[in-house]
C-alpha cells in the first residue's frame, strides 16, 4: 500500500495519506459480542498530502475505511452511545478542525439530540437541560458543563463577528465528552460490571 485516503487529525480533511513506512503485525482482540478473534494490523507512518503533517495509523486487515489514527489520537465513539447521538456528535467532529464555529453549532445540535433522546421536557434547550438536572438527577457540575456548552453554541449562532479558535473547540469538545460519558458511558459500564458480579455469584 503506497497511499490511502483517511481523515487527517491535523487538518481535518478526508485526504490522501502517503505511506512512508509500514509494519504488519498479527493481533488478537475481541469483537463487539466479546468473542476472541485475530486480525492483521497494518501500522502506517504517513504524511498528509494536504497539510504535510505526519500521522501514525492502524489499519485493521489493511482495508481502507478501517483506519484509526493513533497519532494524533482520534476520538472514538463508545458503543453505548445511541446511534442518533453518535451521528450528531460525529457530524460535529468532522468539522472541528476545519471550522470551530460550525463545530460549536453542531455541538449545540448534539445537546438537543441528547435532550430529545432523554425525553427532556421544556420549550428551550436551557429548560430541557434544567429538566435533566431536576427530574433525572443530573448533578450540578454536569448541569454547568451542559450549560457552558449550550451558551457557547448560542454565541456561535448569534455573534457572527466572534472569532472562534481551535482551542475553544477542543475545550468544548472535552466538556461535551464529559456530558456524554455521564449520560451514556458510565451507566453502561456500571451495568456491565453488575452483570459480571451477578454471573460470578451464580
Ligand atoms: Zn492533513
Cell numbers given for 28: 488478537
- DSSP H helices, 96-163, are 100-117, 125-135, 140-158
User: If you measure from the C-alpha of residue 50 to the centroid of ligand 1, how many angstroms do you get, rounded to a whole number?
Assistant: 5
**pTM beyond cutoff 0.75:** no
Neighbour-count burial for 171-201, b at 16+ CB within 10 Å, e otherwise: ebbebbebbbbbbbbeeeeeeeeeeeeeeee
**What's the pLDDT score for residue 159?**
65
Between CA 191 and CA 161 the distance in angstroms is 46
**Interhelix angle for 100-117 vs 125-135, to 10°?**
50
Pairing of strands 67-71, 54-60: antiparallel
User: If you measure from the C-alpha of residue 91 to the centroid of ligand 1, how many angstroms do you get, rounded to a whole number?
Assistant: 18
Phi, psi at 32, each rounded to 5°: -60, -25
CATH 1.10.260: does it fit domain 83-201?
Answer: no
User: If you measure from the C-alpha of residue 67 to the centroid of ligand 1, how many angstroms do you get, rounded to a whole number?
Assistant: 15
Give the domain ranges of the chain: 3-71, 83-201
Higher pLDDT, 155 or 39: 39
User: If you measure from the C-alpha of residue 19 to the centroid of ligand 1, how many angstroms do you get, rounded to a whole number?
Assistant: 13
Per residue in 71-110, pLDDT tens?
Answer: 998 877 788 899 999 999 989 988 888 888 888 889 999 9
Most confident of 40-49, 72-81, 154-163: 40-49
User: If you measure from the C-alpha of residue 9 to the centroid of ligand 1, how many angstroms do you get, rounded to a whole number?
Assistant: 7
Cα within 13 Å of Cα(85), Cβ side: 21
Q: Is 154 helix (H, G, I), strand (E, B) or coil?
A: helix
Does residue 161 have a pLDDT over 80? no
- Helix, strand, coil distribution of the chain in percent, nearest 5: 50, 25, 30
Between CA 14 and CA 157 the distance in angstroms is 26
Please spell the DSSP secondary structure of 82-102, one letter per residue. Answer: -HHHHHHHHHHHHHTTT-HHH
Amino acid at each position: 500500500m503506497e497511499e490511502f485516503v483517511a481523515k487527517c487529525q491535523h487538518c481535518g480533511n478526508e485526504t490522501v495519506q502517503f505511506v512512508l513506512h509500514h509494519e504488519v503485525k498479527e493481533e488478537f482482540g475481541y469483537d463487539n459480542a466479546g468473542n476472541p478473534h485475530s486480525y492483521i494490523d497494518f501500522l502506517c507512518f504517513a504524511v498528509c498530502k494536504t497539510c504535510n503533517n505526519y500521522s501514525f495509523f492502524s489499519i485493521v486487515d489493511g482495508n481502507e475505511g478501517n483506519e484509526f489514527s493513533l497519532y494524533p489520537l482520534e476520538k472514538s465513539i463508545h458503543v453505548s452511545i445511541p446511534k442518533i447521538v453518535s451521528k450528531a456528535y460525529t457530524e460535529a467532529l468532522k468539522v472541528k478542525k476545519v471550522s470551530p464555529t460550525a463545530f460549536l453549532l453542531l455541538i449545540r445540535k448534539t445537546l438537543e439530540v441528547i435532550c430529545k433522546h432523554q425525553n427532556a421536557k421544556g420549550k428551550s434547550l436551557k429548560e430541557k437541560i434544567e429538566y435533566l438536572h431536576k427530574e433525572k438527577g443530573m448533578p450540578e457540575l454536569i448541569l454547568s458543563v451542559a450549560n457552558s456548552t449550550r451558551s457557547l453554541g448560542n454565541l456561535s449562532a448569534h455573534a457572527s463577528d466572534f472569532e472562534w479558535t481551535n482551542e475553544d473547540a477542543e475545550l468544548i469538545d472535552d466538556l461535551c465528552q464529559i456530558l456524554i460519558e455521564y449520560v451514556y458511558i458510565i451507566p453502561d459500564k456500571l451495568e456491565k460490571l453488575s452483570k459480571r458480579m451477578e454471573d460470578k455469584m451464580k
